[in-house]
């Protein structure tokens, strides 16, 4: 670390220039830019121009310096390292040779701070279709640029992380086949363990209603279908919301609109599923497979449970990721596995509620 900090700027700059984004990121981290910050992925290879230079002088400078630079098409106008504006080569080409840079530069420049999250920076480049964005320090002094190709890499990396978190895997940086067996195990076991142990609650619920199950054994056979459908309904909502959050399509203020929408979708889905399931239970389970235990009342219990499970699943599925975002937890963690565990317990409670109320009456 000290080794790099003591190096002259031009040496560091040379190392940075000759390195791929991954090792550049490592070096930038050594220079005290936090991991996942704009500073950690920026390159210092940009062309800067003086505001009082003419277009002709600027072209000379680009010709002389541009050879090594990562991008020359957007030049940054700085004075005492403070960023004053940008000028594109397109603009330079369309201007006369005597024009001063100061007169043609664009002063309304979008820039980011070194400490800004690299994912936000990448999304910004994507949103505004920029090929590069300048990075400035606390005193508005320019220290580097983040280019679109590095932004694309960041987006790819962060998407992979989202996928991993949503499948209850701790994120890793390495490609699948390059990750060792122990490392893969280490990234997968914590959530598996946590979710397995939290399934203790579903066990307790079933044990509590053991008598109901013993009185009507056929009820057991619908438990996997109910928890499966609940889990799928919940993960549809949570995935849609997590993705919409990460694309900035929605935020916490949309909570009411989102929940209201999910409730209506849930009712539609729940009623459809319940009707189909009622027909299936009457035709397949009762008639075709000749199971006399599948009475219309049992079917009613299962179908009512379906409607309310889907409703709960969709509401839990949309609220948890938004709440997580609000309190600063990555919403991707609130995905299928987490939701499924909660919905499993909820669906059993709903099931036994209807079973004990409707079946003792019949």
Which of 1, 3, 9, 181 binds a copy of itself (CB under 8 A)? It is 181
Using DSSP bridges, classify how beta strands 132-136 and 112-113 pair: parallel, antiparallel or unpaired: parallel
Residue 46 CB, shortest distance to a copy of itself, in Å, is 13
- Burial label for 136, CB within 10 Å (0-12, 13-18, 19+), is buried
Q: Which residue do the tokens 């309190």 mark?
A: 327
Q: Which pair of structure tokens corresponds to residue 92?
A: 């330079």
> Which of the 8 DSSP states describes residue 83?
E
Residues 74-133 that bind a copy of itself (CB under 8 A): 89-90, 93-94, 125-126, 129, 131
Pick the piece of the chain touching a copy of itself (CB under 8 A) from 5-13, 76-84, 97-105, 145-153.
Answer: 145-153
CB-wise, 82 or 193, nearer to a copy of itself? Answer: 193
Asked if 88 and 74 count as a contact pair (C-beta separation under 8 A), the reply is yes
Which of 7, 206, 297, 300 binds a copy of itself (CB under 8 A)? It is 206
Does residue 30 touch a copy of itself according to CB under 8 A?
no
Binding mask 155-174 for a copy of itself (x = CB under 8 A): xx--xx--xx-xxxx-----
251: left (phi over 0), alpha (psi -120 to 50) or beta: beta
SS3 (DSSP) at 272: helix
Q: How far apart are CA 43 and CA 257, in angstroms?
A: 42
Residues 276-335 that bind a copy of itself (CB under 8 A): 276-277, 280, 284-285, 289, 291, 306, 310
Does residue 188 touch a copy of itself according to CB under 8 A?
yes
Does residue 354 touch a copy of itself according to CB under 8 A?
no
Pick the piece of the chain touching a copy of itself (CB under 8 A) from 28-36, 106-114, 137-145, 150-158.
Answer: 150-158
> Which of the 8 DSSP states describes residue 281?
I
CB-wise, 136 or 303, nearer to a copy of itself? Answer: 303
Angle between helices 148-166 and 118-127 (to 10 degrees): 120
């Amino acid at each position: 670390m000290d080794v790099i900090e003591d190096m002259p700027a031009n040496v560091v700059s040379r190392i940075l220039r000759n390195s791929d984004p991954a090792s550049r990121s490592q070096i930038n981290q050594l220079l005290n830019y936090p991991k996942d910050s704009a500073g950690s992925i920026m390159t210092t290879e940009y062309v800067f121009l003086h505001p009082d230079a003419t277009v002709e002088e600027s072209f000379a400078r680009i010709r002389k310096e541009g050879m090594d630079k990562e991008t020359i098409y957007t030049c940054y106008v700085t004075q005492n390292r403070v960023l004053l504006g940008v000028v594109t080569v397109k603009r330079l080409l369309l201007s006369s040779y005597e024009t001063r840079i100061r007169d043609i530069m664009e002063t309304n420049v979008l820039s980011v701070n070194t400490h800004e999250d690299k994912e936000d920076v990448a999304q910004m480049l994507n949103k505004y279709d920029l090929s590069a964005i300048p990075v400035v320090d606390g005193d508005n002094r320019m220290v580097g640029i983040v280019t679109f190709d590095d932004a694309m890499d960041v987006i790819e990396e962060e998407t992979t992380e989202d996928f991993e978190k949503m499948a209850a895997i701790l994120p890793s940086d390495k490609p699948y086949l390059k990750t060792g067996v122990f490392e893969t195990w280490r990234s997968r076991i914590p959530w598996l363990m946590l979710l397995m142990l939290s399934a203790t609650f579903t066990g307790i619920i079933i044990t509590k209603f053991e008598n109901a199950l013993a009185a009507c054994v056929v009820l057991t056979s619908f438990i996997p279908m109910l928890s499966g459908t609940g889990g799928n309904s919940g993960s549809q909502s949570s995935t849609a919301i997590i993705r919409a959050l990460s694309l900035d399509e929605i935020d916490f203020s949309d909570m009411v609109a989102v929940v209201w929408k999910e409730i209506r979708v849930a009712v539609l889905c729940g009623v459809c599923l319940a009707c189909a399931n009622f027909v299936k239970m009457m035709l397949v389970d009762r008639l075709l497979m000749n199971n006399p235990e599948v009475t219309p009342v049992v079917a009613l219990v299962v179908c009512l449970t379906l409607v309310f499970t889907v409703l709960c699943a969709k509401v839990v599925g949309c609220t948890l990721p938004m709440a997580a975002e609000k309190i600063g937890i990555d919403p991707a963690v609130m995905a299928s596995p987490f939701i499924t565990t909660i919905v499993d317990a909820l669906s059993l409670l709903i099931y036994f509620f209807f079973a004990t109320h409707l079946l003792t009456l019949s």
